[in-house]
Amino acid sequence: MHDPAHPGEVIRELCLEPLKLSVTDAAKALGVTRKALSEMLNGRAGASPVMALRLAKAFNTGAERWLAMQQQYDLWQARKAVKLGRVRRLVGGRKA
């Protein structure tokens, strides 16, 4: 997997821009504040389960899709930031 997009980037590029929606109009349609949507679009907030449900209804997608996208992004960021050198394997077998 290569540096996955933040869900906010996807919303901006694939949902808002093609529909020529402003952040204000999209926030109203989603039932959230402009600030909340702006924070997500700018990568300062993630897709919560509630937001995923809102996005799914508004853009005719699955909520699971938005949550999976957020999880992939979060895991990618964690892999870049976390040092696992001091973690010891507690069970035998294959590497996870």
Which whole-number Å values give the CA distances from 53 to 1, 6, 13, 63, 87, in the listed order?
Answer: 25, 17, 19, 5, 36
**What integer pLDDT is reported at residue 2 of this predicted model?**
80
Q: Count other Cβ atoms within 10 Å, centred on residue 86.
A: 5
Structural domains for the chain: 7-80 (1.10.260.40)
What is the rounded distance in angstroms from the CA atom of residue 46 to the CA atom of residue 17?
19
Q: Once rounded to an integer, what is the mean pLDDT over residues 65-70?
A: 98
Q: 82 falls in which pLDDT band (50, 70, 90)? A: very high
pLDDT digits (tens, 9 = 90+) for 50-59: 999 999 999 9
**pTM score, whole prediction:** 0.86
